[in-house]
Structure 1
Amino acid sequence: MPIDAAKALAAEPRKGNIAWDHKDIQLYHLGLGAGTSPNNPGAATDPDELRYTLESKLHVLPSFATVAGAGMAMMGGLAAPGIEVNLANVLHGSQSIELHRPIPVKGEAASTATVAAVYDKGKAAVIVLRTEVADADGPLWTSDASIFVRGEGGFGGDRGPSVKAEQPERAPDRVEERKIREEQALLYRLSGDWNPLHADPEFAKLAGFDQPILHGLCSYGMTLKAVVDTVLDGDVSRVRAYRTRFAGIVFPGETLRIRMWQEPGRVLVTVSAADRDDAPVLADTVVEHG
């Protein structure tokens, strides 16, 4: 059987060291579209964007945790004992991050990756890959990536929880739009996701798409940036946790429509492709904050 859940869950943690500095942070932020005014992309650099792009003012958007160390923890998890899957059948189903304290601009840290859960969805399996990162001062973040593997269910395991963020019945408190630049996927992939699906038109056609698609984690980062900039007064240190479910694709050149509902201690979010009749992009999205 390609997935041996018991063996995967009992496997020794995979440990490694990661490091980053201001150049990694700046490249990641630029890959999210930082540096220009969100509402006037052709204008000169917005002074508020310098906190994402200028080393003397730099802070770190918490979603950087998904690419720190070139984001290899997730792919390493798919090589864990008990897991043998065809990468063509793998989809990134959801992503969550819990921040223990703000991420420093320069850091060296130890990364510990485990298979936290394996769920049986019938026609598919879901593998939860957990990464815990700590530096000399203690824990920094815990990241969970849920990986959906088509055709690998039916082994009699637990179906797992259904995590839903109930959307309020009222109109959103804020609606923001963020334009995706035509070359944005080419820039974002330099932070570590080299999948040609996001760059090569011929490869994208083989995968069933008319053109390369944007990385789901790029939409994830763009959405958090929009919430931080508009609801959290630009203060990344207020973010406590952030989770989403990847509900659909988006193409470079399109526009993300980000709807936000503010509640005590959290912001509920939905993200859609404004150019395609609000086709869903991110769902069950929550930013917890202090």
Structure 2
Amino acid sequence: MPIDPATALAAPPRSTELAWDHKDVLLYHLGVGAGAHRPATDPDELRYTYEKDLQVLPSFVTVAGGGLAKAGAFNLPGLEINLAQVLHGGQRIELHRPVPAAGTGVLTSRLAALYDKGKAAVLVMRSEAADDAGPLWTCDTEIFVRGEGGFGGERGSSERLAVPERTAEWEREIPVRHDQALLYRLSGDWNPLHADPDFAKLAGFDRPILHGLCSYGTTLKAVVDTALGGDANRVLSYSTRFAGVFFPGETLRVRIWDEGTAGLVVTATAVERADAPVLTDTVVTYH
């Protein structure tokens, strides 16, 4: 059996060392579009693209020091998974304090949950980073594995976040560069699906698609710049569900609703494809 729930869930946590510096942060910010839509010397962009007074977009934690690849989701005992059947279903990050522009730490990862959706399995990998001063962040990565359901486990929640019926308080249209995926992949996601046209066709796409986590970071930057006064350190948590593909060269439409203490509800869609959903069930909490 490819998935042995009892063995996978009982596997002990794995720990690995992390290290990153300002160059990693700058490259990540460029990879999610920082500096591309205003003059390069605009102070609002330099806070992402210049090491002086550099702030860190919280979604950087998904790539910091090797990021989610260090979680080792597909190397756990009890899991034998065909990577061609894998989709990134959702992502949540929680910040315990602002992410430093350079640092070292330890990332501890484990399988937090395993759900049986019938025709698919959903794995939830939890990764917790800490340094000498204490906890830094927690990431929950939801991985959808087609064809691996039916093992008799809990189904998990199917609840979806309702988008407010009123007009969004903020709306941004973000043209995404044709080479955005080629730049973003330098932060550590080398999947050829995002670069190789022949590989993309084998996967059923007419051209390479943008990394889901690139759309994730681009959307968070729009939220920070539009609704949080440009202060990335105000973000406490950020969760989303990856609802559809996005292609480099398209325009990302980000809509933001202010739900008070419940946080900011966000959607991201592809303008050129009649607002096809890209990110849904998206919430940013902040202080």
Residues 97, 143 of structure 1: 8 Å contact kept = yes
**How many percent of aligned residue pairs carry the same amino acid?**
65
**Alpha carbons 1:18, 1:110 under 8 Å: kept:** yes
What is residue 121 of structure 1 aligned with on the other side?
Answer: 117
1:32 aligns with 2:28: no
Distance apart, 1:164 and its partner CA: 2.4
Letter aligned with residue 203 of structure 1: F
Give the counterpart letter for 1:49 in structure 2: E
Q: Following the alignment from structure 2 to structure 1, what is the Cα–Cα distance between the partners of residues 62 and 160?
A: 22
Deviations 1:138-194 (A, max 9, x none): 000000000000000001100012342221111111110111101110000000000
What are the residue-to-residue correspondences of 1:222-233 with 2, within 5 Å? 222-233=218-229
Indicate the residue corresponding to 1:209 in structure 2.
205
Query: In the alignment, is residue 274 of structure 1 matched against residue 277 of structure 2?
Result: no
1:9-65 CA-to-partner distances (Å, cap 9, x unmatched) read 11011110000000000000000110133xx5xx44422100001101201000001
Distance 2:169 2:137 in 1: 29
How big is each residue's C-alpha offset from its partner over 1:231-271, in whole Å with a ceiling of 9 and x where there is no partner?
Answer: 00011111010000000001000000011101213110011
| Secondary structure, counterpart of 2:111 in structure 1 | strand
Letter in 1 for 2:26: Q
How much does 1:74 deviate? 6.0
1:80 aligns with 2:76: yes
1:283 corresponding residue in structure 2: 280
For each residue in 1:204-232, what CA deviation from the matched residue of structure 2 results, as whole angstroms up to 9, or x when unmatched? Answer: 11111111000000000000000000100
Counterpart of 2:61 in structure 1 is 65
Letter in 2 for 1:10: A
Give the SS at the match of 1:7.
Answer: helix
Paired letter, 2:170: R
Residue type of the alignment partner of 2:266: V
Report what 2:6 is aligned to: 6
Matched residues in 1 for 2:86 and 2:70: separation? 12
Query: 1:280–1:191: structure 2 CA closer, same or farther, 3 Å change rule?
Result: same
**Mapped contact 1:259–1:271 kept (Cα < 8 A):** yes
Q: Does residue 1:252 correspond to 2:248, yes or no?
A: yes
**Structure 1 residue runs of 4+, over 3 Å off?**
72-75
> In the alignment, is the contact (CA less than 8 A) between 2:116 and 2:153 conserved in 1?
yes
**2:28 maps to amino acid:** Y
Residue segments in structure 1 that go unaligned for 5+ positions in a row: none
After superposition, the Cα gap between the structure-2 partners of 1:44 and 1:110, relative to the gap in structure 1 and judged at 3 Å, is closer
CA contact (8 A) 1:71 1:193 kept: no
Structure 1 distance, partners of 2:259, 2:122, is 30
In the other structure, the counterpart of 1:110 is 106
In 2, the alpha carbon distance for the partners of 1:197 and 1:150 equals: 17
Displacement of 1:132: 0.3
